[in-house]
Amino acid sequence: MSQIILNNDLLMESKSNVSEYFIHIKMNVFKHSTWIFIVLFSIGCSNTTNKEKSDQLNGDKKYRVVGYVAGYRDFDFAKIQAQKLTHINYAFANVIDGKVMFDTTNIDNTSLKTNDLNALHKLKEVNPDLKILVSVGGWVWSGNFSDVALTMESRLKFANSAADFVKQYQLDGIDIDWEYPNQVGAGNTHREEDVHNFTLLMKSTREALQVGATRTTRTLFADNCNRSRFYLCN
């Protein structure tokens, strides 16, 4: 079964199955623009070893610690303290022709590096339970979400491509970073029905990930909580 983690601020329409709140705090785990998301409970201080801390993080499902890594920032992933994390979201993939894929377009005049995911997967040597995800969209690449969420056909096309993308890059899941449903964002196409269609898109994507999952847990993040007031207005 796939593990679905949905942001309560985003999916108020789908009130069942939504129980977790994401609190954003900035920590010095990474350089530059890396953010840590603490879910439900903060990590208590202890004198345990790194291995014990890793076991506690991944064995106790009361909270998750998710690092958001900007692939268009030039920093050494080997410096990430992987034993303190449960998940890493790598940014970004784009939505092109209705499908999830990496884009060769630069972000902030910087291209994604082809070996980034290999470097992140290598962190599992430090923390075998670490989950690696790719974030799709973001501020720059959210322009096609409204179209892919519009119809059953377009949602299935996107969802199946997401499952194929996860399999191709040996990921543990995917993060949908639509900025924002029924909001113009960076000059994006948007519709009033985005609010409802977003939930349907998440449902289709979850189901596609479940079909494609074997023994590996597939994780779906719907990440947009710092702009929740815009979403809730609609």
For residue 140, the SS3 value is coil
For residue 46, the SS3 value is coil
| CA separation for the pair 153, 135 (Å, rounded) | 22
| CA separation for the pair 140, 105 (Å, rounded) | 11
Residue among 209, 203, 127 nearest 166 (CA):
209
- Active site annotation includes 207: no
End-to-end CA gap in the chain: 32
Q: Do 131 and 88 contact (CB within 8 A), yes or no?
A: yes
| CA separation for the pair 184, 204 (Å, rounded) | 24
Q: Do 88 and 66 contact (CB within 8 A), yes or no?
A: yes
Residue with the two structure tokens 């973001």: 138
**Candidate list 13, 125, 153, 179, residue with the active-site label:** 179
For residue 202, the SS3 value is helix
* Residue 194 phi, psi (nearest 5): -55, -35
Q: Do 133 and 174 contact (CB within 8 A), yes or no?
A: yes
Active-site residue list: 179
